């Protein structure tokens, strides 16, 4: 479910945590056609940390969760307010791209390419999600409208092509199937 564009108001002091401190100088939300996405607020080099993906741990995926291990997903907390989403759980607005500039490393989002100020920050969901709760047809501009459903549904060649940006638990699975 997409949040609608709203004026950003300062988050209450009691909700501020080190999580916000970890990403506030690197990324922010921006709106396009009524949908939010994430953009870089400064130049980032490949290998640079962008943010920690924090939230509630779950053993099954949901529409907005990020998978960080086998049967381990991080979801935005229940009852999330609009301000919290924009200030503490920015990763909620991370869009998919078949040519991403970030990957998931443990529970962090890390750049895999240089990212310019104002450039959208993207992730290849097929590189960290095993079997997505909400598959969709891609409009990233780098594919022919691929069905994004998760690593489980990729061919062996498609899996191998992503090996440099696979989440660790999927990379280990790939190594085991290619020996």
Two structure tokens written together for 96: 């998919």
Q: How many residues bind Zn ion (CB under 5 A)?
A: 4
Q: Which is nearer to Zn ion, 67 or 126 (CB)?
A: 126
Q: Which is nearer to Zn ion, 75 or 103 (CB)?
A: 103
Q: What is the DSSP letter of 64?
A: T
Strand partners, 142: none
Helix H or strand E segment including 116 = none
Angle 71-74-75 (CA atoms, 0-180°, nearest 5)?
120
Q: What is the DSSP letter of 78?
A: T
**Smallest gap, in angstroms, from Cβ of residue 148 to Zn ion?**
7
**Smallest gap, in angstroms, from Cβ of residue 20 to Zn ion?**
30
Q: Which is nearer to Zn ion, 139 or 152 (CB)?
A: 139
Two structure tokens written together for 16: 């501020």
Task: For tokens 């995926």, name the residue.
Answer: 61
**Smallest gap, in angstroms, from Cβ of residue 126 to Zn ion?**
9
Q: Looking only at residues 89 through 108 of this chain, which bind Zn ion when binding is defined by CB under 5 A?
A: 98
**Smallest gap, in angstroms, from Cβ of residue 172 to Zn ion?**
25
Residues in Cβ contact with 82 at an 8 Å cutoff, skipping those fewer than 6 apart: 3, 6
Q: Which is nearer to Zn ion, 98 or 173 (CB)?
A: 98
Q: Looking only at residues 25 through 44 of this chain, which bind Zn ion when binding is defined by CB under 5 A?
A: none
Q: Which is nearer to Zn ion, 35 or 177 (CB)?
A: 35
x/- track of binding to Zn ion for residues 116-155 (CB under 5 A): ----------------------x-x--x------------
Task: For tokens 């959208």, name the residue.
Answer: 120
**Smallest gap, in angstroms, from Cβ of residue 76 to Zn ion?**
24
Q: How far is CA 94 from CA 12, 121, 137, 176, in A?
A: 23, 7, 16, 30
- Residues of this chain that interact with Zn ion (CB under 5 A) are 98, 138, 140, 143
């Amino acid at each position: 479910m997409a949040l609608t564009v709203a004026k950003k108001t300062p988050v209450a002091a009691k909700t501020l945590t080190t999580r916000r401190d970890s990403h506030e100088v690197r990324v922010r939300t921006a709106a396009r056609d009524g949908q939010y996405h994430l953009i870089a607020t400064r130049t980032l080099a490949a290998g640079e940390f962008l943010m920690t993906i924090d939230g509630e741990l779950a053993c099954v995926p949901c529409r907005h969760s990020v998978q960080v291990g086998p049967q381990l997903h991080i979801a935005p907390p229940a009852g999330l307010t609009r301000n919290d989403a924009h200030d503490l759980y920015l990763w909620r607005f991370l869009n998919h791209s078949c040519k991403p500039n970030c990957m998931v490393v443990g529970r962090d989002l890390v750049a895999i390419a240089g990212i310019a100020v104002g450039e959208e920050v993207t992730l290849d969901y097929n590189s960290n999600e095993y079997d997505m709760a909400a598959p969709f047809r891609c409009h990233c501009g780098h594919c022919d409208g691929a069905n994004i459903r998760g690593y489980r549904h990729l061919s062996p060649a498609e899996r191998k092509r992503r090996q440099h940006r696979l989440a660790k638990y999927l990379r280990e699975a790939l190594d085991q199937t290619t020996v």
